[in-house]
Structure 1
Amino acid sequence: MPGGGTSINTLPKISLHDHLDGGLRPQTIIELAEAIGLDLPTTDALALGEWFETQADSGSLVEYLKTFDVTTAVMQTTEGLIRVAREFVEDLAADGVIYGEVRWAPEQHLTRGLTLDEVVDAVQEGIENGIDHVDEQGHSIQIGQIITAMRHADRSLEIAELALRHRQDGVVGFDIAGAEAGFPASNHKAAFDLLAREYFPVTVHAGEADGLDSIRSALFDGRALRLGHGVRIAADVNIEREDDDNTFVTLGPIAQWVRDREIPLELSPSSNLQTGAIAAWGDDVLDHPFDLLYQLGFKVTVNTDNRLMSNTSLSQELALLTDAFGYELEDLEKFQLNAAAAAFLPLEDREELIAAITAGFADA
């Protein structure tokens, strides 16, 4: 590990891109499924976890997303949502996360009669229960909800209004997610116009399963302050090698804009491999453009996306990158500082996070 044996797990970390329905504990799925009579591929927790990882490792975002049919099925009751949210917070805290943003799509949790406001309230109750439990154990964590609209549906304005109704009760941002290709941010103009008028922060899934046009739409139609994944911005980076000693890099207009405006990239290495997001560059973590983007000065952040589907944690993602690219402790600190600065929080709160990260890494 970097820092002469420092455990990455104990370092203070920031999690910006982590889906609620992608972070369930397998045993919880089994118990919630039994309560509602839902059949599962297996009722062994270890085997179920392996099933999710295998199914998700498809090379296709569309196939990857099918695993969520199982997790969302057990998140249709108040009790289920509270439990999943509480455990989500506890698992982040156990991994050393001091601030996390949990994103999820309320419209996917209405099949058993709950309303949009009721599901948001249930998740917030679970989050607060988790924070209290973590505090009792002598740890501290802050959590904000990012309310997500499904980009292939037609409810984004309604979901934006929902997010705004709960902005004083735990909701810190808005997102669109789901199948990316063919569903640009421009399809949701009314929602993004409303959010802009209300000065409400937006991140948009873009540059994961579609290319530069999707990123452009996220930036200018969605007014995205961050890019969810955004890994395909690397397609706008041109590398020319004259010989072994001379390499020239030029940025296209979109990449130039993203770098110069310091728009954070919510990169998720393991997930990007599973969904084929980096297929243009290879199929191994060494092929991931993460290091290229980092060396060029992009505001890269490290995320898990879906801890269950990728069988991962934020610490594990950082370890993968460290092993691949030889990062040192100061590099890992930089990734956390980038994330803290990008958090959907007031400036004073972000400054406190930055101070906590700096102090934590200084003690490592």
Structure 2
Amino acid sequence: MDPQLARRAPKVSLHDHLDGGLRVATVRDLAGRIGHPLPADDEESLRAWFFQGGRGADLPRYLEAFDQTVAVLQRADALRRVACEFAEDLADDGIVHGEVRYAPELSTAGGLTYDEVIDAILAGFAEGPADVEVRLIVCALRHLDHAAAAFAAAGRFVDRGVVAVDLAGPEDGFPATAHAAAIGLAREAGLGVTLHAGEAFGPASVADALDAGAQRLGHGVRIVEDLGEDGAPGPVAARVLSAGIPLEVCPTSNVHTGVAADVAGHPIARLRDAGFRITLNTDNRLMSDVTLTSEALAVHDAFGWGLAELEEVTATAVEVAFLPDGERAVLRDRVARGYAALRP
């Protein structure tokens, strides 16, 4: 594995936040247009301010970075531009299918409705490169009470680019099951369900997400706490394994939020060896200064994963992406042909 090979490999991204993936130059430009003060003046200093590595696990500081990106996402034209650039950056990284998530409630301070937020993002994706398919996952913040409205709006965009719903935000004390009715309506509308769980809280959060109807787990890596020393699964891990619930794993981001001390100490390899369905993702490309290519190289350096393992996690991502069967078959073939072309 080398950077050029990892970048050329066709990849699938399932866990990537719109407000965590802006270009620094775009943040500066949009902030200047609305008179929003930034914590650093020049591009290099602002990039360093956003980067979370090396500062230790500091969730308040991590969330402060999102205050800056959300502040410039209060207009439809800004959302459209950022979404288009997001698609361009995915394509440049060798990603052929991306599912990008965002909570529309974050962009209503200037008067936009949920529908206007979603419409602007989808318009931006549509303006992106033709060689990457980008879909939207509509998030709600689990510690607030907007899930019903957000997921109802998501349902109005089924077959127009919205493929699923998600709950993000603090896990401890804010169970996903508190939003079960809203999640149920989303499923009735034909949307998939992926829920943040097992990142900031342990196996109990995963069990709660399963009870709420999660088909995928955002992060989910603290399910490792429900494995015995011999690898035997406890009751929650057994539920995840028996149901084949995939994990959207984001190693570098997990280091920056304190889940692991470094990538070498991350449980991704142990979870894969234990039989969990693993996908590889970036989470927040701006805050962690990562791409899916760099994540592939990070797990190569830490665990020796090469092209075969990257193809494995990509193939898993294809099978669990929120796609109709016809589109999945096309994507499956594209990924298989792409990896075959990389081999001697």
- TM-score normalized by the length of structure 1: 0.91
Tell me the equivalent position of 2:10.
12
Match of 2:236 among 254, 257, 272: 254
Following superposition, which runs of at least 4 residues in structure 1 exceed 4 angstroms of deviation? 55-58
Contact 1:56–1:275 (CA under 8 A) maintained in structure 2: no
Letter in 2 for 1:329: L
Give me the whole-angstrom Cα distance separating, in 2, the residues matched to 1:249 and 1:215.
Answer: 18
Q: Does 1:263 align with 2:245?
A: yes
Q: Does 1:204 align with 2:202?
A: no
Letter in 2 for 1:33: A
SS in 1 for 2:86: helix
Match of 1:306 among 284, 296, 317: 284
Give me the whole-angstrom Cα distance separating, in 2, the residues matched to 1:88 and 1:339.
Answer: 19
Match of 2:312 among 334, 351, 354: 334
Q: Which ranges of structure 2 fall in alignment gaps of 5 or more residues?
A: none
Tell me the equivalent position of 1:114.
112
Contact 1:23–1:307 (CA under 8 A) maintained in structure 2: yes
Q: Which ranges of structure 1 fall in alignment gaps of 5 or more residues?
A: 240-247
Letter in 2 for 1:64: Y
Classify 1:69/1:96 alpha carbon distance in 2 versus 1 (closer, same or farther; 3 Å). same
Match of 1:320 among 263, 273, 298: 298
Letter in 2 for 1:339: A
Tell me the equivalent position of 1:245.
none
Q: Does 1:156 align with 2:138?
A: no
Aligned positions, number = 342
Tell me the equivalent position of 2:78.
80
C-alpha displacement at 1:99, in angstroms? 0.2
SS in 2 for 1:111: coil
Give me the whole-angstrom Cα distance separating, in 1, the residues matched to 2:60 and 2:329.
Answer: 38
Q: Does 1:225 align with 2:215?
A: yes
Tell me the equivalent position of 1:277.
259
C-alpha displacement at 1:60, in angstroms? 4.0
Give me the whole-angstrom Cα distance separating, in 1, the residues matched to 2:224 and 2:167.
Answer: 21
- CA RMSD, 1 decimal: 1.4
Contact 1:20–1:85 (CA under 8 A) maintained in structure 2: yes
SS in 2 for 1:173: strand
C-alpha displacement at 1:194, in angstroms? 1.4
Give me the whole-angstrom Cα distance separating, in 1, the residues matched to 2:334 and 2:97.
Answer: 10
- TM-score normalized by the length of structure 2: 0.96
Classify 1:36/1:29 alpha carbon distance in 2 versus 1 (closer, same or farther; 3 Å). same
Tell me the equivalent position of 2:226.
236
SS in 2 for 1:204: strand
Tell me the equivalent position of 1:242.
none
Give me the whole-angstrom Cα distance separating, in 1, the residues matched to 2:10 and 2:37.
Answer: 39
C-alpha displacement at 1:58, in angstroms? 4.2
